[in-house]
Amino acid sequence: MRISPLRLWLQSTSLLAVLAGYSLLLLLNQGVAGLQRRLAHEQLVGELVGELQSRATSGDQLEPLLRQALLPSLRLRVLRGASSRANPPELQQGDGEGWLTSTQPLQLEDGSTFTLMVEQNVSASLQQERLAFWLLAVAAGVSSLFTSGLLRLVLQRGLVQPLQEFTALLDSTQAPPVPGDQIPVADQPEELQPIAAAFNDLQDRLSTSWERQRSFVDGVAHELRTPITLISGHAQRLLRQPNLEVVAPSLRLIEQESQRMGNLVSDLLDLARQDSGRLVLRRRPILADEVLVQAYERLAPSSGWRLQLEPPASELPVGLGDPERLQQCLAALIENALHYSPTPLPVSLAADQLGDALVLHVRDQGPGVAPSERETIFERFARGSAAINANSRGSGIGLAVVRLLMEGMGGSVMAADAPGGGADFQLYLPVVRSLGVPPST
């Protein structure tokens, strides 16, 4: 069920209340006019009865008196015999006219009794009442429109604008929360102050929790680096010893897993440094050919020689970035591509220029990345559907580290479709010429 905006609901409800008030006023006005008309008629009938009783002593004298009192708006008749009680006025309408009719008992001095029937033409009064009704209805409509416009302005100034300003304050808060980054409660409208206070309290708790989590990750990562390095070093030393063919596979597995754990710890440290503002990257001129050749020579043997290096189609500009961190990014993307490309399909490295950016490509022949996931896979602890469907292991932070490193170098990373199928992970680096930095010799 869709809930309408609060402003629209308040405006509609207030307008309906105004219309209901005007409708009640119109009904009340009609009721008062009808009551006044009946009271005036009853007063007229009472005066006629009093006049006839004072001037006529017998029934023979009534007719001349009635003819003398005849008016265009009155019709008087006398009936022999008195009614038990007076009948209240009744309104009868027809042929464009309206008549109020009532009867009143009449007793003369000689003891004779009669019934006086009085019919009063109230057409003019009814016309005035209808005219007043329509004038009031038009005035109510115009007043409702004016009220609606005024109410819209009041809601805009008194509700929408304060809420928009409050929303802007909420949007300006930092993520992750920083201690002391709070909304000034006293500066808010009275109705929003409890919300601001609750938000500040939530910010304080989130900041404390975030700081504890960051300290825990940083501390654990530092503590794990030493034992992992020792395990990897001892495994490599044992592999160089002779006559260890029986345990060599286990030693290689220990070395590989220790290296994987070491990479994971390094990624966690990078995330912790980024969160605390301690991640420092060096930006130097970079030649794409040298970077890709270095990555190929270092990783081709461990890839089973599935890694391929494509020659550049044209001369490439000099990029700007951190050489060591760029190698870390390429290693993470190459490992990811080798994992999702079925053996023995190759993974290729390439470079080209796109506008003012130097682009490094890591292309595989795996299932590719769905368009709806090309942003989310670079978030922390996020994994694409290909990884979930393949039931593959992974921490979900490798691509997140690649993005934060590339953004720290002034570049970016994105996923696209590779020619012929698969995924094409692209690293964008600013070129030296666009930043005015002379290339290194």
Per-residue pLDDT of 257-289, as tens digits, reads 787 787 777 777 777 777 767 778 888 999 999
- Residue 389's alpha-carbon distances to 211, 336, 380, in angstroms, are 34, 15, 19
Least confident among 27-41, 148-162, 204-218: 204-218
What's 284-435's CATH class? alpha beta
What are the pLDDT digits (tens) for 76-122?
A: 888 877 665 677 888 888 777 888 888 888 888 777 888 888 888 88
Give residue 295's pLDDT. Answer: 94
The residue count of the chain comes to: 441
Measure the CA–CA gap between 306 and 344, rounded to whole angstroms: 7
Q: What's the rounded Cα separation, in Å, for the pair 267 and 261?
A: 10
What pLDDT, on a 0 to 100 scale, did the predictor assign at position 413? 96
Residue at 377: amino acid letter: I
Domain boundaries, the chain: 6-145, 193-276, 284-435
Nearest to 102 by CA among 51, 50, 40: 40
* CA 177 – CA 363 distance, rounded (Å): 38
Q: Tell me which amino acid residue 112 is.
A: S
Q: Do domains 193-276 and 284-435 have the same CATH topology?
A: no
- The position carrying tokens 């029986």 is 246
Q: What's the token pair of residue 50?
A: 């009093």
Q: Look up the CATH architecture of domain 6-145.
A: 2-Layer Sandwich (3.30)
Cα of first residue to Cα of last residue in the chain, in angstroms, is 66
Query: What letters, b where the CB count within 10 A reaches 16 and e where it falls short, cover 75-112?
Result: ebebeeebbeebeebeeeeeeeebbbbbbbbbebeeeb
Residue 23: which H helix or E strand, with range?
A: helix 6-55
**Arch. (CATH architecture) of 193-276:** Orthogonal Bundle (1.10)
In this predicted structure, the answer to whether residue 420 has a pLDDT above a threshold of 60 is: yes
CA–CA separation, 137 vs 399, rounded Å? 69
Euclidean distance between CA atoms 431 and 436, whole angstroms? 9
